[in-house]
Amino acid sequence: MSKKKVVVGMSGGVDSSVCAYLLKEQGYDVIGVTMQIWQEDSPAYCEREGGCCGLSAVEDARRVAATIDIPYYVMNFRREFQENVIDYFVDEYLHARTPNPCIACNRYVKWESLLERSLQIGADYIATGHYARVEKLSNGRYAIRNSVTAKKDQTYALYNLTQEQLSKTLMPVGDYEKDQIRKIAEEAGLPVAHKKDSQDICFVSDGDYAAFVEREAGSVPGPGNFVTTDGIVVGQHKGITHYTIGQRKGLNISLGYPVFVVAIRPETNEVVLGNDKDVFTDHLIADRVNFMADSEFDPQKTYLGKIRYSHSGTPCHVKMLEKDKILVEFEEPVRAVTPGQALVLYSGDYVAGGGTIIQ
Amino acid sequence: MIYLDNAATTKPKKEVIDVMMPFLTEQYGNPSAIYSFSAQNKTAIQKARKQVAELINAKENSIYFTSGGTEADNWALIKTAEAYEEKGRHIITTKIEHHAILHTCDYLEKRGFEITYLGVDNDGRISLEELKQAIRKDTILISVMFANNEVGTIQPIEQIGEIASEHGIVFHTDAVQAFGHVPIDVEAMHIDLLSASGHKIYGPKGVGCLYINNSLKISSLIHGGGQERARRAGTENVPGIVGFGHAAMLAKETLKERMEKETRLRDFFIKELFNRISDIKLNGCKENRLPNNINVSFPYVEGESMLIMLDMQEICASSGSACTAGSIDPSHVLVAMGLSSDEARESVRFTISDETTEEELRATVDAVETIVSRLRSMSPYYDN
């Protein structure tokens, strides 16, 4: 029988490098691919930034591929990334929602476009260096399972993958601790063993999302009023794209008590401020639901709900409101439920499913 | 391996390497030195200059060796712009130039020059009427590539040269793809500046030249020592220049037979592709085309996927303009010729050499046929 062929998405980092190495050791026919998604490569940009930002990643990935002796290609996904990630990211901010571009990138760029192109060139699977595991459950469904490295867990950003996508996915890194991954890289002589982990949103290098949104969109809503929960105007804000729910820093408002953003109203261009309590709520509504370990949500069952990547999770119950909409009731109030972010439901170690928070 | 990417670079001829070797080993002297040890390096450069000049009917002292085509393009544009800026700041070029021209034009635009980019027809040819209309009182330079690197379309260079000369405008042509592949006569074609490269004609990389008509007064791009008659500083790349000269000489000797052979193979390959694969489209011009270029769009087939699958069978082809990273963007040339961004992504370029065989081309057509039918069968949009 011929070896199974797998395309490994290689970012040039240690995790995806070890992913490729592990699969090769396991006997797969491995092809390394770096997805070119960055947009800025005009000579002016490169002059300013001292070189094309994506190139060092490609050079690292290429070196790793040469070290473990696998074929390696760079595939162009600029258009897919622009349409599915950047345009979405900007549009969400303009609508006063806080997007999660990594989830969109996973769902549409990695597991749609990369998978499609990988199957085209004859692969049976794609693989990534995510800290997560893919398992087939006794009910016949595929699900993402928590990584053994709890603090690196990346399951939250993977809740939206379809059954078809999961059936063609390998994530060998999820079986290891981060320290072990570095050790494997070192022992295998991979040139990226000591490379720093990447942080934050890859396409906004300076962390200034509002400036990025303004550059991309051309124009953004201008300054408007800060109002309190009972409607009193207490100051001027810089424009709604500068704020997110639960934000405390950078408001430059003093009301004699700590104030937080509790709501953003694009229709009136208002940012609503409140106290710490106002930021908490015990329920939310989500739509665009994806089912993973469970083919439907059991209203009797207690799930663990996460409302953002860094949230450790709160026990909750789920009711279907209509076909593609759920009501989630938490056992205790959660802080800063943010429209646009994902609600991810866990059942034990497994991702049961999730949706996009709308209110 | 079947190598069909000769527009990207060619395999150096053994003869070329042989004449270079002494200058990489025993004859290492600096040509500028006073002692006789270096004398033969000086004469070797002179010989190469003559060999290059003869290929394009130029005077020997109008050839200036550079690090390649890109440097020659930069030099021609930037220094012509500076030399004539008192007369005007308007430059005419085309939308389908190589990035060595386009990005240099960006640079000049930022420094206050105005650039008109001529469009092209479906064949990739500019319109002489449009060129005439674009000419203004302050036009100082026309730069039109001799032949395009992606689709092989050859421009009406002689007529462009006539128009430029009638108006007293400097005419530059980026001839990197045409030099040594089709006849060029800088006198008859009224060419004032011409860029060429060594590695596209079975010579070494890292060497090329700018032909500068002796009546032009353009200054140096690279400053330093007095090499190249004080117009291009830096110790001469003697082995490269010698190899380039020899490759140019061989190109001149074999031009006619290579053109005949490559044209025959090119047409055979195109015919086979069209016989075997349905719904495909030849990009570029049927008549005015480089003998070595085949560029085809395969609807419902991602060009990048096809190239990877060809590579897995050790067939080297290319598509669009590869970026430094090695991935592929939709070609600005194909888009300028009226193809949609999808059609541009579905295109693949095959460029043959004088050593390509019919057998290799048959094997390539077999591979392409299999890949196209596989990729089309997987495409949700392809309706058989």
* B122 and B146 both lie in a single domain: yes
Q: What is the mean pLDDT of chain A?
A: 90
- Percent of chain B topping pLDDT 90: 93
Are B330 and B205 contained in the same domain?
A: no
* pLDDT at position A46 over 60: no
Q: Is residue B138 part of a domain?
A: yes
A333 touching B (Cβ < 8 Å): no
Coil vs helix vs strand at B342: helix
CA distance B302 to chain A (A): 8
Q: Which domain holds residue B215?
A: 14-250
CA of A122 vs chain B CAs: smallest distance (Å): 8
What is the arithmetic mean of pLDDT over B79-90?
96
Give me the pLDDT at residue A53, please: 52
Q: Is the pLDDT of residue A1 over 70?
A: no
Give pLDDT, residue A252: 85
Q: Are B327 and A36 a contacting pair at CB < 8 A?
A: yes
Q: What is the pLDDT of residue A39?
A: 63
User: Is B194 part of a structural domain of the chain?
Assistant: yes
Chain-chain contact of A55 with B305 (C-beta, under 8 angstroms): no
Tokens of B86: 């008192």
B383 lies in some domain:
no
Given this model, what pLDDT does residue A211 score?
Answer: 87
A94 in contact with B, Cβ within 8 Å: no
- Find the CB nearest A58 among B107, B302, B325: B325
Percent of chain A with pLDDT over 90: 67
In a domain, B179, yes or no: yes
Kindly determine whether residue B309 and residue A71, on different chains, have CB atoms separated by under 8 Å. Answer: no
Q: Which of B312, B329, B374 sits opposite A76 (nearest CB)?
A: B329
Whether the CB of B326 is below 8 Å from some CB of chain A: the reply is yes
Residues within 8 A of B (CB atoms), A 24-63 only: 34, 36, 41, 43-44, 52, 54-55, 58
Would you call A55 and B304 a contact, using CB atoms and an 8 Å cutoff?
no
CATH homologous superfamily of A221-274 equals: Adenine nucleotide alpha hydrolases-like domains (2.30.30.280)
pLDDT digits over A270-309, tens only?
A: 999 998 888 899 999 999 999 999 999 999 999 999 999 8
Q: Which residue of B has its CA nearest to A75?
A: B327
Say yes or no: A78 contacts chain B, CB-CB below 8 A: yes
Q: Answer yes or no: do B217 and B326 share one domain.
A: no
pLDDT at position A237: 93
B103 in contact with chain A, both atoms CB, cutoff 8 A: yes
Q: Taking residues B251-258, what's their average pLDDT?
A: 98
Q: B371 — contact with chain A (CB < 8 Å)?
A: no
Considering the domain architecture, whether residues B168 and B303 belong to the same structural domain is answered as no
Which of B105, B285, B316, B323 does the annotation list as catalytic?
B323
> Which chain B residues have a beta carbon less than 8 Å from that of A78?
329
| pTM score of the predicted model | 0.89
- How far is the alpha carbon of B289 from chain A, nearest alpha carbon, in Å? 29
Asked if the model's pLDDT at residue A45 lies above 60, the reply is: no
Structure ipTM: 0.84
B311-329 pLDDT per residue, tens: 999 999 998 666 555 666 7
Residue B67 sits in the same domain as residue B159:
yes
Residues B82 and B171 in one domain: yes
The question of whether B105 is a catalytic residue gets the answer no
CB contact under 8 A, A117 and B304: yes
**Looking at A41-50, A221-230, A260-269, B196-205, which range is the least confident one?**
A41-50
pLDDT of residue A149: 73
CATH number at residue B315: 3.90.1150.10
Residue ranges of B 336-355 with Cβ closer than 8 A to chain A: 341
> Domain limits of chain A?
5-129+171-187, 221-274, 280-357
22-81 of B, contacting A, C-beta below 8 A: none
Provide CATH code, domain A5-129+171-187: 3.40.50.620
pLDDT classification of A54: cutoffs 50, 70, 90: low
**B108-122 pLDDT per residue, tens:** 999 999 999 999 999
CB contact under 8 A, A73 and B308: yes
Instruction: Give the angle subtended at the CA of B176 by the CAs of B171 and B177, to the nearest 5°.
Output: 115
Using 50, 70 and 90 to split pLDDT, how confident is the model at B6?
very high
Let me know if residue B384 belongs to a domain: no
If you average pLDDT over each of A101-105, A221-225, B197-201, which comes out highest?
B197-201
Q: What is the rounded average pLDDT of the residues B147-163?
A: 97
**3-class DSSP string for chain A:** CCCCEEEEECCCCHHHHHHHHHHHHCCCEEEEEEEECCCCCCHHHHHHHCCCHHHHHHHHHHHHHHHCCCCEEEEECHHHHHHHHHHHHHHHHHCCCCCCHHHHHHHHHHHHHHHHHHHHCCCCEEECCCCEEEEECCCCCEEEEECCCHHHCCCHHHCCCCHHHHCCEECHHHHCCHHHHHHHHHHCCCCCCCCCCCCCCCCCCCCCHHHHHHHHHCCCCCCEEEEECCCCEEEEECCHHHCCCCCCCCCCCCCCCCCEEEEEECCCCEEEEECHHHHEEEEEEEEEEEECCCCCCCCCCCEEEECCCCCCCEEEEEEEEECCEEEEEEEEEEECCCCCCEEEEEECCEEEEEEEECC
Whether B309 and chain A come into contact, CB under 8 Å, resolves to yes
Superfamily of domain A280-357: Translation factors (2.40.30.10)
Chain A: nearest CA to B167, how far in angstroms? Answer: 33
CB contact under 8 A, A36 and B323: yes
Q: Which residue has the higher pLDDT, A39 or B110?
A: B110
Q: Are residues B288 and B366 in the same domain?
A: yes
Does residue B327 belong to any structural domain of this protein? yes
B236 and B304 in a common domain: no
Burial A86-114 (b: 16+ CB within 10 A, else e): bebbbebbbebbbbbbbbbbbbbbbbbbb
Answer whether residue A199 shows pLDDT above 70.
Answer: no
Q: What is the CATH number of the domain that holds B201?
A: 3.40.640.10
Examine the domain organization and report whether B194 and B121 are in the same domain: yes
Q: Is B329 on the interface with A (CB under 8 A)?
A: yes
Kindly report which listed range (A274-278, A314-318, B291-295) carries the lowest average pLDDT score: A274-278
State how many domains chain B has: 2
Please check the confidence at residue B132 and state whether its pLDDT lies above 60: yes
Regarding whether B103 and B25 lie in a shared domain, the answer is: yes
Q: Does residue B106 surpass a pLDDT of 70?
A: yes
State whether B85 and B210 are in the same domain: yes
A255 close contact with B: CB closer than 8 A: no
Among residues B180, B192, B147, B171, the alpha carbon closest in space to that of B295 is found at B147
A66 contacts in B (CB within 8 Å)? none
Asked if residue B234 and residue B265 are part of one domain, the reply reads no
Over B232-275, what HEC string results?
A: CCCCCCHHHHHHHHHHHHHHHHHHHHHHHHHHHHHHHHHHHHHH
- At A125-160, the pLDDT tens digits run 999 999 999 999 999 999 999 887 777 778 999 999
**pLDDT over threshold 70, residue A51:** no
Topology match between the domains A5-129+171-187 and A280-357: no
Task: State how far residue A352 is from chain B, nearest Cα, in angstroms.
Answer: 30
Name the average pLDDT for chain B.
95
> Which is more confident, B239 or A196?
B239
